[in-house]
Structure 1
């Protein structure tokens, strides 16, 4: 039954796209976030839903869409260069079969991120894309939040819409994205036009979805999620009106929530301070050390999944309590083929120094571009510019939270963050197009005034 509901929904989007091809782009956003192939049980896993919507989105734009206002920007150039470099490293990969398997989905996500800004040529389309991204993610987060409340959480145990522990449904990945998405939720709740923002219904939904987003890291019991929550709370200090009230309320909420947190969650969070007491954290540190040494010898990288070649031995420290006596036990652990567990080291180890530089530039230029628009919105008296400045602020916060979470999770090519980068490019392009139109209007007005002045002088 569940498969039929999703298929019927997608069928409606495909039919609507016959009249408005842009809807096919929105359909692909939904498919790439929710991944219905992993959600279904009967026939959805066998359907090429992603490929079909991917082709429809491109064909619809190429054949039927108006290209006015579409531009290829410098940031898209960086993304294209990274895509080409990834193709090159895949061709020389240390582990060709594994690299080809990862390349099969990475190239599609990166290509769509290149394409999306070309379609987001109007403010209405940009807002629609934000809505679809947030609401698609909400279908996963609401499920995770409810199951956490019902006691269905646990590290590697929480099941949301899919039993899969890969992609967006992997615990640390979902925790990072759930917290990163909160600024977009509140932008829509306050500034949305397609569904009116500022209404009681919109604000209540934002509160409920924020609560679900905060529950997901508790349900997955991931340390990354806790760090992302704390970081977002600090970031919001920059924009809230009453900072001391906000800080006091946040601290009170954190203290009040402690008695309700599972003991297993509190024990796992305690390993943030001492990584040697946790084998998982210790392994990450050793993998990062190995990656630095590997890149020193292979500056061009080893292609996707080059971590499969790592091997190392390290020592863990564990405190053992017997009665009133606490002793320390040291244990030697040998590991091999362990994942990078960090987007930074993932890119460095797979794409080498050239790919790492491109990836860093892609994100750095996004942060700078959004900061400029944010400040412009704050300085403007135009409500519309203030609105889009607020979106720039939200997109910047999403990216910053992602970049923190990416320190501990291998999500360098995660489709959702690539969509966020595409939204940033689309926003900057739309604002530039508006500036160009306004400048042309002002130029024509000045010419008209000069002609009128000459005419008056002649008479």
Structure 2
């Protein structure tokens, strides 16, 4: 029955995507992030549902006129350059044939990210994209949170099997990034009960993240919580929720959890921690000696034998920074950091400027909460490998699309009296594009 429901949803969504391809973006996002078919037990488990969603979306994209240039902001440019460099790194890497599967998987995500940038062009699209992206992870987090509470934290929480977030560490970081984004959705709701429901979802996601037993996740949630409280417009409510989590959730965790967390202070005596540090050193040496890096993975035995200091055991980087550094070299890391620094700046632009327009306050809330999520990603990512997962790139699309929308709305409002600015009788705000000659209005996001 579960298989039929999932396949039925995909079939209907794929048909709708042929006429309205933005729906295909939502379908792809749901499948790619939540992986609902991985919770089925029959033919849907291995069915090419993501390929169906992507194929119908691309066909719809070719037939629709409701699309835009994907390069709407600096983050997209950085992202495009990084995607090109990843391909070069793969081609000039140590094992292009062996790395093809990983490159193919990553490029599918990147291709659909560009497609989303072309099709997410108005407030309705942005809102739907946010709900699908955030809701997909929130459902997984709620399930994991309930499991943590019922088991008293004695068993680890894992993500969907066979995905980027299947490991407990990566799943923890994804959930931590989801919490502030849930608060953004909460701020847009008028129903008190729905707001309470999202508050519960936030607490359950936090419980699930703690239940993963991830030490990197603990550091990420601490940094995110501080930024979350600082950026929130409801500091009393958020402070109460954080205090509740500390006073209620943490004391119920078993002794095994506390012993694992306390090992952060004694990392020199922890074999796993020293193995990660050794892997970071190998990544650094690989980047020093290989301009393009090692390819889609630098986890090759010969490299650890050659550059390993503490051991020669091949280990994952467990760091977005060293993962990208070892895989794609210093240029790749530079481009990767450029994506997130520029995304953070665009989110900050929204937080500062969108509140000047009453109808755009939702975009200001989005910018503030994306900044909080990015802080969690930056801190937690230092100890967790999540360089290619969809969520951060979807956050990039959200803020870039929102910025374009806000600028278009600002233009629409001010073009009612264009002669004032054109004749120099009124000063143009710094955040607005230059005013064209009266009667000549540029097209932005398909809106005049």
Shorter-chain TM-score tier? 0.7 to 0.9
Residue pairs, 1:134-153, within 5 angstroms? 134-151=134-151
Question: Alignment length, in residue pairs?
Answer: 421
Partner of residue 179 from structure 1, selected from 176, 181, 184: 176
Give the aligned partner of residue 318 of structure 1: none
Q: How many angstroms apart in 1 are the aligned matches of 2:102 and 2:237?
A: 47
SS at match of 2:387: coil
Determine if contact 1:78/1:362 at 8 Å carries over to the other structure: yes
Determine if contact 1:70/1:121 at 8 Å carries over to the other structure: no
Give the aligned partner of residue 351 of structure 1: 328
Partner of residue 190 from structure 1, selected from 180, 184, 187: 187
Q: How many angstroms apart in 2 are the aligned matches of 1:401 and 1:61?
A: 34
Q: How many angstroms apart in 1 are the aligned matches of 2:206 and 2:120?
A: 30
SS at match of 1:93: coil
Q: How many angstroms apart in 1 are the aligned matches of 2:392 and 2:64?
A: 28
Are 1:273 and 2:269 an aligned pair? no
Q: How many angstroms apart in 2 are the aligned matches of 1:346 and 1:224?
A: 15
Partner of residue 304 from structure 2, selected from 307, 310, 314: 310
Give the aligned partner of residue 376 of structure 1: 353
Determine if contact 1:154/1:220 at 8 Å carries over to the other structure: no
Give the aligned partner of residue 28 of structure 2: 28
Determine if contact 2:28/2:54 at 8 Å carries over to the other structure: yes
Cα shift readout 1:408-449 (whole Å, capped 9, x = no counterpart): 11111112211111222211222222233334343268789x
Give the aligned partner of residue 200 of structure 1: 192
SS at match of 2:299: helix
Are 1:410 and 2:385 an aligned pair? yes
Shift of residue 70 of structure 1? 6.3
Determine if contact 1:291/1:348 at 8 Å carries over to the other structure: yes
Determine if contact 2:86/2:328 at 8 Å carries over to the other structure: yes
Q: How many angstroms apart in 2 are the aligned matches of 1:348 and 1:69?
A: 30
* CA distance 1:415–1:242, change in 2 (3 Å): closer
Shift of residue 105 of structure 1? 0.6
Greater displacement, 337-346 / 395-404: 395-404
* CA distance 1:96–1:152, change in 2 (3 Å): farther
Using structure 1 for the length normalisation, give the TM-score: 0.84
Larger Rg: 1
Determine if contact 1:165/1:171 at 8 Å carries over to the other structure: no
Residue pairs, 1:28-47, within 5 angstroms? 28-47=28-47
SS at match of 2:417: helix
More strand by share: 1
Give the aligned partner of residue 158 of structure 1: 157
Shift of residue 276 of structure 1? 1.8
Instruction: Note the aligned Cα RMSD (angstroms).
Output: 2.6
SS at match of 1:310: helix
Determine if contact 2:3/2:37 at 8 Å carries over to the other structure: no
Cα shift readout 1:126-163 (whole Å, capped 9, x = no counterpart): 011001111211231122112212218567x5355x4x
Residue ranges of structure 1 left out of the alignment (5+ in a row): 192-196, 316-333, 451-459
Residue ranges of structure 2 left out of the alignment (5+ in a row): 426-448
Shift of residue 71 of structure 1? 5.1
Using structure 2 for the length normalisation, give the TM-score: 0.86
